[in-house]
Amino acid sequence: MNQQMVVPYWQDHSPEYGILFVRTKSILTSMVRASLVAVGFIIMAIVIPIQSTFGTIKTLELVIYPDGSTHVSSEISADPLVPVFAVDLLGPTIDNFVAQDENGFLLSATIEENSALVETLGASTISVNYDIHDLISKQGRIWSFKVNSPIEYTVLMPNNIVIVGMSTYPLNMQMVNEKSLLLLPSGPVEISYFFGVAETPPPQSNKPEQNSDNSIYLIGSSIAAAGAIAVILMKRTKRHITQQFTELSVKQEQIPEKPLDVETIFELKPELRDDDKQLVSFISSNGGQAYESELRKKFLQPRTTMWRAVKRLERYGIVEIEKKELQNLVRLKKKLEDEN
């Protein structure tokens, strides 16, 4: 009989069941991948807010008011893929902030210190308008305007001022409606000015005139009086002929053009919202005009909400806004205009 050596079963498998071996390579790979993913999320969270501030200022226009406030108008290029765009403001004290896209559509915005977070809604260009009270200071009679702009910009100075100091030379200067329009370079600029005083006529001399001069004046006065009497007689003869025609023309010119009634406005603008119709009805019942502060008090709306509603009515061509007594006067137009 042939002898065969049989190896016990437990001797062949005892090491595999007696000791637990774990592969550490796959675990290390998973840990590295998880770390990279976490770092990627952190980088995205940091980078996304920074991208929302990217943009290029295309234009910047400033208008200085006599009360020391400044109106800012600017166009800024925006990324249409970024839902919220951060707009840098020229200071923290902001009033009447309005943001619009390239089609004139109003955009929602939130003011946070020196910046405004604007919901772009896919806009590639954002136009902002606001009033600021941080650019001008006063000491005695001297007013000082200070600003630091990243681009060239224009400044429309108030009427009847005298510029006494300027930290840089303007690129261009011209007069617009008796106001100085300055084109200034980028960088910090300071302009000092004061309001001028109307010139008074020189005092008349009390020195007695000579007799010869008096006689000349008497003769000249007599001739002038005779000429004036002749002119009056000639005018009286013509007045009787043209009186009736003149009265008719004057009556036609003196007929005031009244603003449109509410029913006509609602008929021509059926797309108006209910709150817009309430504003129009109140302004019409108030004599066709009302201050923005009166509208806010009547409808209990904050300043920004009411300003957007007023600008919306202006865009519809229903009202016009006039700066009067340091306030915004909203007036119904006499003729309804098409929407821009």
Give the pLDDT of the chain (340 residues) as one tens digit per residue: 455 554 444 444 444 445 444 455 555 565 656 565 455 545 544 444 434 445 688 899 999 999 889 999 999 988 888 888 888 899 888 888 999 988 888 899 898 888 888 888 888 899 999 999 899 999 989 999 999 999 999 999 998 899 989 999 899 999 888 889 999 999 999 999 999 864 444 444 444 444 444 444 444 555 555 555 555 555 555 555 455 545 545 444 444 456 678 888 888 888 889 999 999 999 999 989 999 989 988 998 888 889 999 999 999 889 999 988 778 899 998 877 655 4
pLDDT of residue 336: 72
Strands 153-156 and 56-64: parallel
Distances 189 to 167, 168, 210 between C-alpha atoms, Å: 6, 6, 59
| pLDDT score, position 300 | 87
What pLDDT is attached to residue 211? 45
Q: How far apart are alpha carbons 261 and 14 in whole angstroms?
A: 102
CATH 2.60.40.1730 fits 56-195, yes or no: yes
For 262-332, CATH number out of 1.10.3470.10, 1.10.3720.10, 3.40.50.2300, 1.10.10.10 equals 1.10.10.10
pLDDT of residue 208: 45
Q: What is the pLDDT, as a whole number, of residue 26? A: 56
pLDDT at 30: 57
> In which residue ranges of the chain is CATH 1.10.10.10 found?
262-332
DSSP, collapsed to helix, strand or coil, labels residue 134 as coil
Q: Where are the CATH 2.60.40.1730 domain residues in the chain?
A: 56-195
Identify the pLDDT of residue 184: 94
Question: Residues 131, 69: contact at Cβ < 8 Å?
Answer: yes
* pTM (whole model) above 0.75: no
Predicted pLDDT of residue 259: 65
